[in-house]
Every structure is written in structure tokens, then in C-alpha cells.
Amino acid sequence: MNQPKDKPPIGPTEPGDLPLVKAPDSIWMSIEATLDAKPEPRRIGMFRWQWVAASLAVIGVLAWYAMRPKAPAWRVSTLEGSPSVTKIKVGDWLQTDASSRARITVGDIGTVDVEPNTRVRLVAASPTEHRLTLARGEISATVSAPPRLFLVDTPASTAVDLGCAYKIKTDESGDGVLRVTSGWVSLEWKGRESLVPAGADCRTRSRTGPGTPYFADAPKALQEALAAFDFRGGGPDALGTVLNQARVRDTLTLWHLLSRVDPADRVRVFNRMVDLVPLPSGVSREKALQLDPATLKSWREELAWKW
């Protein structure tokens, strides 16, 4: 007599493909109660269908549990000391103490080095958004990815990667500084934006957001006057010092100030910019003073060759 051939398996068969999972006690209790009941003859058909429905419900729960997608996790490597975790998934925090440093592998687009006394959280890890929250401390990010894929939130800004490497530090109130070492970063907060290129810094302050970018080698007097203008109500006097100290490269700072000063001071900023770098063709004085977005963008792209 011929032996029946084995039927081909259906679905995953390798160990671990569908892990064994215990169904909730409430489901088993419901099935047992149904089986123990003594239905009247006319209800036997209904009983059988109830039993089948309950069984299918259990199978559905187990299948969903086994096949549900796992939350992505990023690897954490120890650089020094003993960081709090070895990997983080969305919602997890990584914290370093005074003697610990760690490196987060950001999917397949880069790394983030976490300095001592830092607290950072993974907020999103999807194909369209990689986002961290830096609650306090300092991180160094090196990313190679399309613009605006990698973001870091702080209490006073969001650092939006435009293909770059940078360091950012902050305290719990949001006071901190961004330093870009390659590429560009956009610091954004409540509609305010600072575009920061390689070699430039930008301060952040609580309840104010990002300040005006400046190059790290800018004259000390310019840097101090700019901090007074941005965060301490320095007004026309501080602005005057910035304008007097500005070099050709500092048109980065002046371009940002053009849209941040009072209308009465806008002509002063414009004239100083044109003194340092002649107005390029296609950029009109009238539209620049009106803060026409297309004009300002075109002017910035021309000035960036000097930055």
C-alpha cells in the first residue's frame, strides 16, 4: 500500500520564524466556558460556529503577535566608561555619566557621539525621519544622507541636517551652541531659522531660539556685540559694532541680520553688505530691502562663495 506523501509546509518553518506565544488567559477561559456549556439540540449548530469563531480568534491573536513588525533599534557602542544602554529603540533614553562616552549608529546614515553627562532620546527611526531629542549635554553628529532626514531637538531649537558634521550642546533650559564642521545645518524654532555653514557657530537661548550665525574666527568684538544684540537687547549700539567689525566673510551674519533688525536699521545693514561685497546682478536693492524671499535666497547663494 502506498504511503501518503507528506504535504508541503505552509508558511515559515525555520526555528524562530513564528515564536510560541501564550494566549491571554481570558481567551482560553472563554473557549472552555463555551465547551463546558450544554446547549439544547436546536442550538448545536450555533454552538459549533461559536467554537470555530473562538478558535479563529485565538489563531488571529497569535498570528498578529508573532508577525507584528519589530520596533527598529540603533546600536550603542561604548567609547569610555559605562553608558546606560547598549541599544536604543524609539522612546528609549541613553544617558552618560561624568566618565562615560558612547557612539550611536544612526541607522545606515551616520553616527552620533554622546559626550559625558548627556541625556538623549530616540524619537523617530523611519525611512523618512531619523530624530533624536537632546535634553542636556553634548553630541557630535556625522551624517551622510538626503537633507532634512536627520534632526535633533533641543529645548530651544531643532538642528536640521543638510548633509554635514556638527557638534551641539545645550543645558536643560535650552542655552547652548551649535558648531558646524562640514556642510550646513539649519537651526529652527517657531518660524525662526538660522542657516549655519561649516566653520560657523550659532548660539541658542531659552524662550528665544537660535541666534544669528557667526564664523568662529570672527573678531571677538563682533561676537560679543552679536550676543548682546540677539539676547540682551543691545539695540542700535550693538548693531553698530557688528557692522563696523564685519569682514567680507561676515556677510553671513549680516545677511541674517537684514531680516532681523528694525526696518529703520535695515538700510544700514544693506549698505554695509554692499560695501563689503558688491551687489550681484539680478539682485535689486528695492526687493532686498523688502525682504523678498526669492531675492534673499539668490543673494545668499552668491554670497556663500565668500563664506
Identify which of 73, 77, 108, 105 has the alpha carbon closest to the alpha carbon of residue 91.
Answer: 73
C-alpha 68/C-alpha 277 separation (Å) is 59
Q: What is the pLDDT of residues 211-237, one digit of tens each?
A: 999 999 999 999 999 999 999 999 999
Who wins on pLDDT, 132 or 52?
132
Local confidence band at 11 (pLDDT 50, 70, 90 cut-offs): very low
Q: What single-letter DSSP state applies at residue 121?
A: E
pLDDT of residue 84: 87
Q: Which helix (H) or strand (E) holds 45?
A: helix 44-67
CA torsion 44-47-52-55 (nearest 10°) is -140
Local confidence band at 72 (pLDDT 50, 70, 90 cut-offs): confident
Q: Phi then psi for 297, rounded to 5 degrees?
A: -65, -45
Who wins on pLDDT, 50 or 276?
276
Average pLDDT, the chain: 86
Identify which of 198, 255, 257, 248 has the alpha carbon closest to the alpha carbon of residue 230.
Answer: 257
- 2-6, 70-74, 156-160, 298-302: which range is least confident on average? 2-6
Cell output for 219 = 573678531
Q: What is the mean pLDDT of residues 175-193?
A: 97
- Percent of the chain exceeding pLDDT 90 equals 74
Q: What is the mean pLDDT of residues 152-157?
A: 97
Q: Name the pairing type of β-strands 150-154 and 129-143.
A: parallel
Residue 179 pLDDT more than 90? yes
pLDDT of residue 66: 42
Q: What is the pLDDT of residues 253-279, one digit of tens each?
A: 999 999 999 999 999 999 999 999 999
Q: Phi then psi for 60, rounded to 5 degrees?
A: -65, -45
Residue 18 pLDDT more than 80? no
CB atoms within 10 A of CB 215: 20
Residue 46 pLDDT more than 80? no
- 3-state secondary structure at position 198: coil
DSSP strand E in the chain: where?
Answer: 73-80, 87-89, 93-95, 101-106, 110-114, 119-126, 129-143, 150-154, 157-161, 165-170, 176-182, 184-189, 192-197, 200-205, 209-210, 214-215
Who wins on pLDDT, 23 or 268?
268
Residue 37 pLDDT more than 60? no
Q: What is the mean pLDDT of residues 19-23?
A: 51
Residue 61 pLDDT more than 50? no
Identify which of 176, 168, 109, 158 has the alpha carbon closest to the alpha carbon of residue 138.
Answer: 168
Place of cell 473557549: 31
Place of cell 501518503: 4
Residue 31 pLDDT more than 60? no
Residue 65 pLDDT more than 80? no
C-alpha 215/C-alpha 274 separation (Å) is 19
Residue 170 pLDDT more than 50? yes
CA torsion 90-95-101-102 (nearest 10°) is -10
Q: Name the pairing type of β-strands 165-170 and 176-182.
A: antiparallel
**pTM of the prediction?**
0.76
- 67-76, 132-141, 230-239, 240-249: which range is least confident on average? 67-76
